Each structure stands twice: as structure tokens, then as C-alpha cells.
Structure 1
Amino acid sequence: MNRKQMLKDLLVADPAVEAPPVELRPADAGGRRIPSGAVRAMGIDLSRLQDEAKRAEVLERESRNGQAVLEIDPASVDPSFAEDRIARTSDADYRRLVESMSASGQQVPILLRPHPEAAGRYQVAYGHRRLAAAAELSIAVRAIIRPLTDAELVIAQGKENAERRNLSFIERAMFAAELEARGFDRATLHAALAAHPAEMTRYLAVARAIPRWLVRAIGPAPRAGRPRWMAMAEFAAADGALDPVVGITETEDFRAAPSDTRFSMVYAALQCRSEAAAEPAAAVSPIRDGMSFIHIEELDSGTRFTILKSAPAGLSGYLLGRLRDLVTEFQAEQAAPKRPVE
């Protein structure tokens, strides 16, 4: 393509309009016209502009089709409306992700859609942790932008989680319950979690039995597994079963423990209460010496206290909740000056 046609393509909107003539030097001895230095430079610039215009067209087309990887300001991106992880940025895997992106950059792009309610903003389909890491590092996040319906967004969100980092059982259960609460049909739920109908029924049953505040307090508990979560759901369904658990979740020891340990603490309290409630009422006498419910065993490494199954319902949870206060009272008594014996 000659420069005249390039100039027409770039600068003339109407192809019927003739482009301005290009002044050339007189012909050389062989009859060829030799362009001046300025004209030659203009030809190079016109070629570069045309190449850039073509690249811009391709980029725009790929962006519309969800093929181009773009760099987006994390501040312009909002999370998905459906929460899938209980703790997105509080585990060791997230810290490793931040370190990896700091050293090597973001290797895998995230998926965004244009925000359906806020012009100029985006919404995450998947890649929340990479988005958070990019924001923490103050760098742009590499993303593919694709127009998605709500159903397409949650299906993409669920499939990416299944392929890259499996959610724990309780995270999948809570994700399913949130999608159901937002009105998605079972077909969408099955597609988003890649779950068969029987498994979906288990997810929803557990999510309904265990309150969200307790799930958030425990965390994802990746090692707990489906059978123990289902057993906990049965324990929690009994009237008043969660009363002793509240005190446990408010202790510093509970909050400082790993997620799987927090699960075990709650599970043990609920199991103890369930077993005590299943015993005949006559088996537990309200006038028994309180220490008869506790077994004390001296070990080489210390002293072990065991709450027996015959203990009144809620005793273990109450003692766990009071343990820190008792230790503080003991230390205060030890530190108090001793009165002389008269």
C-alpha cells in the first residue's frame, strides 16, 4: 500500500474524499521519482500509525470477546456478589501468593465482567486472591474482561475454584446456600459446584443447620471433611446445643488456634452435650460432687483433666470459657502479699 492510500485510510473518514497530494522530488536519471527526506519520514510515521491502529482494533475486538489480557487498577474492581471462601487472605497460601507475585509477577490472569450496576467498574468472576495480592503490592492486576450473566459468573467462579484450589466442604456448602438464597435454580448450583444432586442436598442441609456466625468463627477447616461436618450439623440441630459454644468461640485460645483446631474444639463441646443429653435423666444427679465429673491424671509432662460423659450438659463448654479467668485469679492470688500468721 502506498503512502497516499495510508494517509487516506488514517485521516479521511469518507473514502470518496481525495487525500492531499504528496510532493515528490523530480525523477532521477532512470525515470524514478525520489521522495524527499521529509516525505520519506512521513511515510515511515504513516506506516507506524497504521500498524498501531490495527493493533488497537485487534485489542478492542479481543477485549470484547474476552480474549485479551488487560492491566486493570485493582481499585476499580469489586468482588463477586456470591462469597465462596470463608477466609481469602488470612492463610499461609495467600502469603505465598503475595511473595510469588512480588518476585515473578502475576502468571495467571483473573476473570472480570463489566459491573452491571456501576459504569466504569468491574466485578470478579474468579481470582479474588490474586486481586487482593495485586492491591497489596500496589500493582495492576492482569485480567480478562468478558460480558457474563449472573449465572455465568457463578458457574465460572465455581469451576475455577474446583480446578485450581478446592474449597473445603463447609466453604462449598456455604457457597451453595448463598446461591440458593439468591434464587439460582438447582441446575445452576450443580454446574457451579460440579456436584451431583445427593451431594448438593448434603451441602444445603449442613449450611442450614450450622449458623453462619459459627462457620465464620471456625473458618474453612480443610481437614475436617464431610462426615464430621455432617455430624456437627446433627449436634447443632438440638435445642440449646449452641449455648456452650458461644463462650468457647469468644476465648483468646480459640481465636488464636488454627481453623482445624477450632473445629475440633467446637465439635468436642457439641458432641459432649449431645451424649449427655442422650443419657437417662437419672444418670446425672444434680447433687453430686462437682469433681466427680472430672478425671484427673498425673503424667510425666503435666496433669490431664478429662470431663466425663456423665457431666451435666454444657459443663465442658462452661469450664473452657472460664479457664482463662480462673488462671488470672490464681496468678493474682499468688502475687498478693501474704499476711503474717499471728
Structure 2
Amino acid sequence: MAHIHTPFQLKGLALKNRIVMAPMCQYSVEAKDGKPNDWHFVHYVSRAVGGTGLIIMEMTDVEPDGRITDYDLGLWSDEHIPAFARIISEVKKYGAKIGIQIGHAGRKAEDAEVPVAPSAIAVSDKYKTPRALTTGEAKQLVQKYKEAARRAVEAGVDTIEIHGAHGYLIHQFHSPSINKREDEYGQDLAKFGVEVIQAMKSVMPEEMPLLFRISAVEYIDGGYGLDHSIELCRRYKEAGVDMFHISSGGEGPIGKERKPGNYPGFQVPMARAIKEALDVPVIAVGMLEEPKLAEATIANGDADLVGIARGMLRDPYWALHAIQAVTGEVTPPKQYIRGF
């Protein structure tokens, strides 16, 4: 039996298969206003036509200076809602479910005049030195995450993912190497993330699952390992996270102590470790675009879902092609049956 093509249910989220389009920034906002445009419409809808079970829209930021670049998406205003709703509504017509990844770049905000972060530590000499947030400003940002989640719900999403990986703001708060604060957010490294989770859950329907993307290990010298991320996930699960999306790294220059893998499936053991430690569903991601590897990841119980990123940039119909490769048969949209 093919596992990749089996349904999956998490609270009120019912997926037709185990394939996730992982969020990937498009840097394609035209007017720097944060609103998705026709590029984003075609980009996401074509992956729905292509058979994807769950599409997670790229990192969408809670304030203008929270963007990696000024060409990124935002949900800091109610004026953004209609443009997102147009895409979300169309994606659903093809049997896909869709969520939005909510985030803030923190010290990795390249176009912010003065980026903000837990502490005034730059990513590297290629980045601006950020200004440390005050305690009050950190609490205001929690509310901005909450308002972004409210807008995502109003736009019609099926789920929401919090970006707590790849060196962005929440990751910066829960990293001992980056967070050198002496206030409550320094004494408890999970506190900022926990407050964001609780705030966002307060405006989400009870049956809508909340996802959280985390870097399971860091690659800077002195960076944290799996033991630290498992404890973070434990706290985040208690706060209300329903599923974790397991990635790694992105926090800064790669050191000498730990190197990232550069081979298919290198992050899968991290996903399995968190799944087993916390008895929680997980999405595995990272060079899983070979269909039989994606299938094995599910069949082995390493993860519940597989996230495909660059593979879907190359092939909008990756899901249909993968299901066909694994099962020998597939049901494409009626307009494309002749091609299969």
C-alpha cells in the first residue's frame, strides 16, 4: 500500500494525501505593500492543481520591518486580507488545503533601517547590527502575531504555521547563543514563543490546528542540539502547537562543530526524534523530492507528512508525479487526463 497517497486528519484539517508544499519566499511583491499579486496566485493555485495535499504559503510578516526584504508578504493590515482570500479560495477548488506561515525576520530583516532582535547581536558582518527589543516591545510583537493570525483566519485558511526556524525572530529568542537578555524573555528562552502560540490560538477556531516550524539543531559553533529543541517543542506543545515542521540551521554562519547534511533525507532523523520524544505529529522536510524516499519517510513512521520545497519549484505537479511513481496510477484534474 502506498502511504504517501493516504488521507491524514489533524483536528479539523482533513488532507487527501501526505504531501505538503513547504513555504518558500518568492520575493515578488510589486509595490512593497505586502500584498500577494498574480504571481502568487498562479504559484499557489498551480500547486493545488498539481495534486498537493497541503500548501503552506511563504513567510508572511507581522509588521513592515519584520520582512526579510521589502518584496515579502505581510499581514499587518486588514487591507491585506482580500488579496490572500482570493488565492485561498481558488486553491481550495482543487481539493488542496492551505495555510499561511506567520513570521518576523528579526535581525535578518535586510531592508529594515534598524532591525530588531532579542539582543544587539548581528548575524554576521554582512548584516546590520540589530537593536535589542525592550520588554514592552516584545509584548507588542506578540499582539502583532495575534492580529496576523486573526487576519489569516478571516482570509479563509485551513491552518496556520508559526515560523520559529531558520534564524528568524522566534528562533532568535529561543537560541541561547543569540538571546542574551536579562529580562523575563532571557530567563525563559521559550517564553516569547509560548506567548505567541497562546495569543494566536486565542483567535483561531478550536478545530484549526496550529503548526510550528523549528530548527531542530543549529550549525553555528556553540549552537543548540536536539535535546534543547525537544524541550522547546515540549513547551510549545503544552502551549497549543498541534504539529511540528522539522528543519535545521539558518541561524548564522556554519561553524566547525556541526555541519549540515547535504544529502536526501538528512533532516528526517531529527523529525523522527521529536515525533518519538513528544508523541506529536511532524512534517519532515529537506531534499525529499525523490518519490520513493518521500514514500519511505511516511511508510517507516519517521514523519506523518513530507514537505517538498525546491522540488515543487521545479515541478508544480510534483505531487501527481510522485503518486504516479509510487502507486503506478494517479487521478489528475479531468482537463489533464490525456497527459497521464
Larger Rg: 1
**TM-based fold match above 0.5:** no
TM-score class, shorter-chain normalisation, is: under 0.3
Q: TM-score, normalised by structure 2?
A: 0.24
Q: TM-score, normalised by structure 1?
A: 0.23
Q: Which has the higher contact order (CA 8 A, sep 6+)?
A: 2
Greater strand fraction, Structure 1 or Structure 2: 2
